[in-house]
A and B are shown apart, each in its own frame.
Chain A
Amino acid sequence: METSIWRALLYLVGIMAFAGVNAAWLGWCERKGAARIQRRTGPMEAGYQGLLQPLCDGAKLLSKQLLVPQGVDGILFRVAPVLAMIPAITSMVVIPFSENVGARNMELSVLLLFALASIGMIAILLGGWASGNKYAIISGARSVSQNLAYEIPMLVTVITVVMISGSMNLRDIALDQQGGFWHWNIFRLENGHFVTMWISFLIFFICSVAETNRAPFDMAEAESELVAGFMTEYGSMGFGLFMMGEYLNIVVGACLTATLFLGGWDGPFGMTSGIWWFLIKIYILIFTFIWIRWTFPRVQIYRLLNLSWKILIPFSMANLLITAALIKVF
């Protein structure tokens, strides 16, 4: 069964469908969430509560002319949106949705996810540069400095989880946390009293918000300063791909957080574990992403980088030392 071609095809179709549906309807969720927070109604016209709005948007984006302005670097301009989308979809191959649902059980899946995430960074950089637009280039530079700064504390906190679970396999990490919420890495009081893991979780979550370029860390597309940042020159489906890539990155970030810290598919009280718990967890996390975006104002780029280099990195390093000591002692 492992090597059957049907299994591979089924997972391929399933992952594409999951990615597509999420990329489309998370946009709707975001608009509804924003509307709720700002005491508006949001999209209401197409379908019940505007549920068909993503389809209409998609049709509009697809039928629009693909405009390549003069003075852009043609090849890179066209490649960048695709590069933003591919790594996010590919990442889903190694995510364990439940004990039996997961396309590939890979030994180094955590590492693979971060390796793919670095390609997404290149997409923004190339998109910004290829546009040949001042604002887009500034946006690309900002986004790279931000991503580099936040990748360090993120990887360091991941190391704490990897040390506790003794594996870089997402499935093994999730299996290690089965049996109720007190086994989850965020609260982890069994075998080792890891009292500082909630700090790890906090740092990791902040970093994943920053890595996906979401407000209050959306310096790359700060519309009041940079028009639309690296997306300024993009229209139609080029823009659409960037947006879908952003939402898929959020989904991957939420899946990673849920697997590393919140027990994966494990039920909070040790029963009825299954894929539904995983989905509930990731959608709560995604809601938090939206909630944060529409609640907090954008910060300055300097303060943003200071937060990472002066606060998050020292804290994550200290946390790493404490966790290592706790592993040794208990």
Chain B
Amino acid sequence: MQTLVAQTGAAPSLFSPEGVVGIIFLLTVALVVAGAFIAVNSKRLVRAVAGLAVCFTGLAGVYYFLLSPFLAMMQMLIYVGAVSILIAFGIMMATPEEQQSVGMKSRSALAGPLAASVSGLLFAALSLLGLKTEWQVFPREGAGDIKAVGLALLTNYGYVFELISVVLLLAIIGALVLAQKGRN
């Protein structure tokens, strides 16, 4: 399996393995974009969360195409399985009457085009940055399996790993403080 970005030259035939892989890649990207559009445009919050879940699923596919299946699985497990579910859960707990329109009242005619142009510019700039920069290529850690990931995390990237655990600790303490406040 090769990443499509690395391929140059003529487009592969539709019925060759490369062609099928390419179609699947395009489907994944379409999933990300479609999910993002649903998440942004739908007025019903739960639908927006469903769109977000679709977007996350597509992102997992993109990770898989970047040859890191572990990251893809974790994306599914954490973002689809936990984050979007928790968001949906929060919405269901907060507003049982879902039809209340969400902040669409005082919007000038310029808001839409302005937002579109800003995001378009941002997208163009990021794409340009991605394509033009001479990226420093890091060596691949093992075969992308968890053994290699674990070894790398506990040796080369031990400092980062410890920092992440501190962040998690802070999050837990913060949650406890917030919960305590709500109780009084």
Contacts and interface: CB of A to CB of B under 8 A. Distances in A.
A176 interface: no
A270 B67 CA distance: 38
Contacts of A140: 92
Main secondary structure on chain B at its contact with chain A? helix
Given A108-B69, A108-B145, A118-B77, A129 B46 contact: yes
A144 interface: yes
Contacts of A126: 46, 50, 88
A148 B82 contact: yes
A73 B92 CA distance: 14
Contacts of B80: 115, 118-119, 122
Contacts of B96: 137
Contacts of A111: 70, 73-74, 77
Nearest to A80: B50
Contacts of A148: 82, 85-86
B93 interface: yes
Chain B contact-residue range equals: 20 to 34
Interface in A138-180: 140-141, 144-145, 148, 151, 168
A107 B145 CA distance: 7
Contacts of A75: 47
A112 B73 contact: yes
Contacts of A219: none
Interface string B63-93: 0000001100110110011101110110011
Given A73-B47, A115-B81, A140-B92, 13 more contacts: A73-B44, A73-B46, A75-B47, A106-B69, A107-B145, A112-B73, A114-B81, A119-B76, A125-B88, A126-B88, A141-B89, A141-B92, A145-B89
Interface of B: 44, 46-47, 50, 53, 60, 69-70, 73-74, 76-77, 80-82, 84-86, 88-89, 92-93, 96, 143, 145-146
10 pairs of A and B residues whose beta carbons are closest in the complex = A118-B81, A115-B76, A111-B73, A115-B77, A115-B73, A107-B145, A129-B46, A108-B73, A144-B89, A108-B69
6 contacts: A108-B69, A108-B146, A115-B76, A121-B85, A148-B85, A148-B86
